Chains A and B, each alone.
Chain A
Amino acid sequence: AQSVTQPDIHITVSEGASLELRCNYSYGATPYLFWYVQSPGQGLQLLLKYFSGDTLVQGIKGFEAEFKRSQSSFNLRKPSVHWSDAAEYFCAVVLGGGSQGNLIFGKGTKLSVKP
């Protein structure tokens, strides 16, 4: 069955340091992949998405993610973390492939930022 794995439950980084959040998926074909962010007490907001083409995608708030088919990964990165980036981050894949199915979410990675 399709699944999304976020291996890190909680990550703490210092403000200004670089960040990489891991996401692995299981699906035979090329999936449609997303990263969402959830600030405390808020709903989820779409950060970026990958459908096809360039495997390095840019998103909002200075985030980027790289799709690596050989590793079944879609890791989220940011070169310099700001205190306001403290939130929970969810990787998601479209069920059944394509762009029109329901989403399957990973369990999330909580990011804490040290001053």
Chain B
Amino acid sequence: NAGVTQTPKFRILKIGQSMTLQCTQDMNHNYMYWYRQDPGMGLKLIYYSVGAGITDKGEVPNGYNVSRSTTEDFPLRLELAAPSQTSVYFCASSSSLTRSEQYFGPGTRLTVT
């Protein structure tokens, strides 16, 4: 099993550009999550999904959108990138039975200039 994979690993965006961060898991997990990690701030939940077709906002959803058309994929869309979105983004997944035990991807480092 590959676990949780994320692409790209690194990306530089100009202010106002858009992009999609990809996340795929092969563990058949129902729950998937997107976090951002800023230095000294821990992880903040952006969006999460409890299954295909169902998404919900986390703590810091502004400026982001998500969709969940399949169990495996949970892409995060940034529209009109801003410098405040410079961060490291982590995708995670967990099963229904042990929702709080999350498996993380390796992260995407995004810089907006």
Contacts and interface: CB of A to CB of B under 8 A. Distances in A.
A108 B106 CA distance: 17
Interface of chain B: mostly helix, strand, loop or mixed:
loop
Most buried by B among A41, A100, A106: A100
Interface stretch (B13-21, B35-43, B64-72, B79-87): B35-43
Contacts of A90: 42-43
Contacts of A42: 106-107
Interface of chain A: mostly helix, strand, loop or mixed:
loop
A100 B98 CA distance: 7
Nearest to B44: A105
A65 to B, nearest CB: 15
Given A90-B42, A102-B45, A107-B42, A44 B90 contact: yes
Interface residues of A, number: 22
B43 A105 contact: yes
Nearest to A44: B104
Most buried by A among B4, B33, B100, B107: B100
Interface in B57-108: 58, 90, 92, 98-107
Interface string A17-60: 00000000000000010101000011111100100000000000
Contact of B42 (A43, A94, A100, A108): A108
A102 B98 contact: no
A43 B58 contact: no
A34 B42 contact: no
Contacts of B45: 102-103
13 contacts: A43-B4, A43-B105, A43-B107, A44-B104, A46-B102, A90-B43, A99-B99, A100-B99, A102-B48, A105-B42, A107-B40, A107-B42, A108-B42
Question: A-B pairs with the 5 shortest C-beta distances?
Answer: A43-B104, A105-B42, A107-B42, A44-B104, A105-B43
Interface of B: 4, 33, 40-43, 45, 48, 58, 90, 92, 98-107
